[in-house]
């Protein structure tokens, strides 16, 4: 017998395998010790009412072999003797492009400026403890890209259900738990991501693909408007049937290279602001309507949006990349810059909840930088990061202010406990941030305080600055074949090119770029 069932249950039943099976045995009237296989399919938390409930869909197999849950089979062909294509950047976009290329019979040459996941760890310790930022190996650069030492949230606004499922199944085939196929808001966690990323690399190597670390691309080999390959920092030249450029939003030198080599780039909208940090217990009590979240519920998250008006301009203020039970991390990519971001371990069990709290940047804001052309937004971003760094002492110590003090424009005499390891210094954040960010932020936070009690109080602090929410630059490509609008055989890909905003969308974009490159250039 096979039964498909949808239920609304208490967390202690929905999140405990044994309790769930017992519950179903009573409901479907099979003995609790029967040889039944209970397989949850979908699970989401509904915290709108007084009592938190869990919506759960499941399949029950009684005396019947279950159909396989996963369609994807890790069975890559050997491509060591096939035609080769170049992928620059081993973030989610680059890694998934490489795996898809292998499936389609092309050998990927994956070039990554940073180190492998293990060696990278030492550089992260140096940023946190000694305030030393290695410009080639940090929270953004290195194997797995910006997604490795992150929260590993795996959700996306994309509506491409089939593609999403496929990427999740590839993660599972490389070691992620099957829970990510079930939960409405799946995440992996920074403690588990490095191993997963290393498994993806092993699949590429085992299939005869190449992965090169400490290998920075510094120039393109171009003939008129066609890319033939790339030039590495040590002078070596590598050619291929096409180039997927998946260098992420922090590879400023790549944007500058595009501008220098007359490869069309455009400025694009983005957002900047701060990280806000609370005690996780406060967020739990607000979201779950109770003092304690108990044993079964995960650390609560939130998502907030407000509209503000300042000097006649309407701006969105919104929470971004919320990390329940997480840590704030220093994610600059060069010395003399200050950039914060957030990550969480798989159990999301730190005492802190943090989230980006950012303001949409308007075209007017970048007007003073118009001499930088398409890099105007990037220049503003860079200057704000440098200013924050300088004001806070030149290392990775970050400027911070209690939230109610920020709204009421009072200096915070004392800051509160933080997860940010390099340390905080109390500062008037309206001096750190330009008015077009600071004022809407004050207004937005006030609005959020009305929705969530104590959210905008002195039980929270803002920490600056959160400036790398997305790329300020787009490398434009054809909508259909994903090739650069002017340069043949060049496939701008992932977040840096402006076509993704997170791990899932970057991975899916990597797959699509690989398909288009192979379709157009591997067949001839």
Contact residues toward ligand FAD (CB under 6 A) are: 88-94, 111-114, 139-142, 145-147, 150-153, 216-217, 246-248, 251, 254, 321, 329, 331, 341-343, 494-496, 500-504, 506
Nearer to ligand FAD, 38 or 176 (CB): 176
* Nearest-approach distance from CB 384 to ligand FAD, in angstroms: 17
* Nearest-approach distance from CB 480 to ligand FAD, in angstroms: 21
Nearer to ligand FAD, 402 or 513 (CB): 513
Neighbours of 441 (CB within 10 A): 29
Nearer to ligand FAD, 59 or 256 (CB): 256
Nearer to ligand FAD, 54 or 506 (CB): 506
* Nearest-approach distance from CB 332 to ligand FAD, in angstroms: 10
Q: Do 406 and 432 touch, CB atoms closer than 8 A? A: no
Both tokens of residue 223? 């003939």
Phi-psi domain of 427 (left: phi exceeds 0; alpha: psi -120 through 50; beta: other): beta
Q: Parallel, antiparallel, or unpaired: how do β-strands 271-279 and 352-360 relate?
A: antiparallel
Strands (E), 74-207: 84-88, 107-111
Nearer to ligand FAD, 152 or 209 (CB): 152
Give Cα 99 distance to the centre of its chain: 20
Both tokens of residue 432? 């750190």
Nearer to ligand FAD, 56 or 500 (CB): 500
* Nearest-approach distance from CB 298 to ligand FAD, in angstroms: 14
- Dist CA 92 CA 188 (whole Å): 14
3-class DSSP state for residue 290? coil
Q: Do 453 and 426 touch, CB atoms closer than 8 A? A: no
Q: Do 97 and 513 touch, CB atoms closer than 8 A? A: yes
Run of H or E residues at 7: strand 2-9
Q: Do 340 and 329 touch, CB atoms closer than 8 A? A: yes
Nearer to ligand FAD, 247 or 308 (CB): 247
Strands (E), 175-235: 210-212, 217-223, 226-232
* Nearest-approach distance from CB 461 to ligand FAD, in angstroms: 19
- Peptide bond preceding 115: is omega within 30 degrees of 0, i.e. cis? no
Nearer to ligand FAD, 149 or 455 (CB): 149
Number of helices (H), then strands (E), belonging to the chain: the values are: 13, 22
Nearer to ligand FAD, 261 or 410 (CB): 261
- Dist CA 316 CA 237 (whole Å): 45
* Nearest-approach distance from CB 373 to ligand FAD, in angstroms: 20
Task: Compute CA distances 503 → 44, 295, 496, whole Å.
Answer: 21, 29, 12
In angstroms, the first-to-last Cα distance of the chain is 52
* Nearest-approach distance from CB 209 to ligand FAD, in angstroms: 16
DSSP track, 349-416: -SSEEEEEEEEEPPGGGGGGGGGGGGGHHHHHHHHHHHHHHHHTTSSS-EEEEEHHHHHHT---SS--
Q: Do 211 and 205 touch, CB atoms closer than 8 A? A: yes
* Nearest-approach distance from CB 287 to ligand FAD, in angstroms: 18
Residues 6 or more apart from 67 whose CB is under 8 A from it?
Answer: none
Entry field: residues in the chain? 524
* Nearest-approach distance from CB 353 to ligand FAD, in angstroms: 14
* Nearest-approach distance from CB 499 to ligand FAD, in angstroms: 8
DSSP-derived letter for residue 207 is T
* Nearest-approach distance from CB 471 to ligand FAD, in angstroms: 9
Nearer to ligand FAD, 94 or 240 (CB): 94
Phi-psi domain of 224 (left: phi exceeds 0; alpha: psi -120 through 50; beta: other): left
* Nearest-approach distance from CB 149 to ligand FAD, in angstroms: 6
Strands (E), 224-351: 226-232, 237-239, 243-245, 266-267, 271-279, 305-310, 313-323, 327-330, 340-343
Nearer to ligand FAD, 321 or 374 (CB): 321
Both tokens of residue 216? 């920075």
- Dist CA 247 CA 123 (whole Å): 19
* Nearest-approach distance from CB 143 to ligand FAD, in angstroms: 7
- Dist CA 446 CA 440 (whole Å): 10
Nearer to ligand FAD, 20 or 352 (CB): 352
Nearer to ligand FAD, 14 or 238 (CB): 238
Nearer to ligand FAD, 356 or 438 (CB): 356
* Nearest-approach distance from CB 438 to ligand FAD, in angstroms: 23
């Amino acid at each position: 017998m096979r039964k498909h069932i949808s239920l609304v249950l208490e967390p202690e039943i929905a999140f405990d395998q044994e309790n769930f099976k017992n519950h179903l045995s009573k409901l479907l009237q099979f003995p609790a010790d029967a040889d039944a296989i209970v397989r949850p399919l979908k699970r989401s938390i509904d915290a709108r009412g007084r009592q938190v409930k869990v919506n759960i869909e499941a399949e029950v197999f009684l005396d019947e072999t279950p159909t396989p849950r996963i369609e994807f089979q890790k069975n890559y062909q050997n491509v060591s003797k096939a035609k080769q294509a170049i992928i620059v950047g081993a973030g989610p976009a680059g890694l998934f492009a490489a795996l898809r290329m292998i499936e389609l019979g092309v050998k990927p040459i994956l070039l990554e400026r940073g180190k492998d996941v293990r060696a990278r760890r030492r550089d992260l310790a140096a940023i946190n403890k000694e305030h030393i930022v290695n410009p080639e190996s940090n929270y953004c650069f290195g194997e797995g890209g910006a997604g490795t030492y992150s929260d590993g949230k795996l959700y996306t606004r994309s509506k491409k259900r089939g593609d999403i499922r496929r990427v999740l199944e590839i993660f599972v085939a490389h070691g992620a738990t099957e829970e990510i196929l079930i939960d409405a808001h799946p995440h992996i966690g920074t403690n588990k991501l490095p191993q997963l990323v290393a498994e993806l690399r092993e699949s590429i190597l085992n299939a005869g693909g190449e992965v090169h670390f400490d290998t920075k691309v510094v120039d393109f080999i171009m003939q008129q408007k066609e890319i033939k390959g790339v030039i590495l920092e040590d002078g070596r030249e590598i050619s291929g049937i096409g180039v997927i450029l998946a260098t992420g939003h922090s590879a400023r030198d790549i944007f500058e290279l595009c501008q220098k080599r007359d490869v069309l780039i455009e400025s694009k909208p983005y957002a900047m602001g701060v990280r806000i940090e609370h005690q996780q217990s406060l967020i739990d009590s607000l979201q779950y309507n109770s003092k304690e979240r108990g044993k079964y519920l995960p650390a609560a998250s939130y998502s907030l949006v407000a509209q503000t008006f300042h000097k006649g301009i309407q701006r969105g203020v919104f929470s971004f990349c919320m990390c329940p039970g997480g840590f704030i991390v220093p994610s600059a990519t060069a010395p003399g810059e200050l950039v914060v971001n957030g990550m969480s371990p798989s159990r999301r069990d730190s005492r802190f909840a943090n989230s980006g709290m950012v303001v949409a940047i308007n075209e007017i804001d970048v007007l003073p930088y118009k001499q930088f052309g398409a890099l105007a937004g990037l220049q503003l971003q860079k200057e704000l990061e440098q200013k924050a760094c300088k004001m806070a002492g030149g290392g990775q110590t970050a400027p911070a202010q209690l939230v109610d003090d920020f709204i009421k424009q009072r200096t915070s005499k004392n800051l509160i406990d933080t997860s940010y390891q390099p340390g905080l210094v109390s500062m008037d954040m309206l001096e750190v941030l330009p008015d077009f960010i600071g004022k809407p932020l004050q207004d937005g936070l006030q609005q959020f305080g009305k929705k969530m009690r104590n959210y905008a109080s002195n039980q929270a602090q803002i920490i600056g600055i959160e400036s790398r929410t997305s790329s300020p630059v787009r490398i434009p490509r054809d909508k259909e074949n994903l090739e650069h609008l002017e340069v043949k055989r060049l496939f701008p890909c992932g977040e840096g090119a402006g076509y993704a905003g997170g791990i899932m969308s970057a991975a899916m974009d990597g797959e699509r770029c690989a398909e288009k490159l192979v379709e157009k250039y591997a067949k001839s």
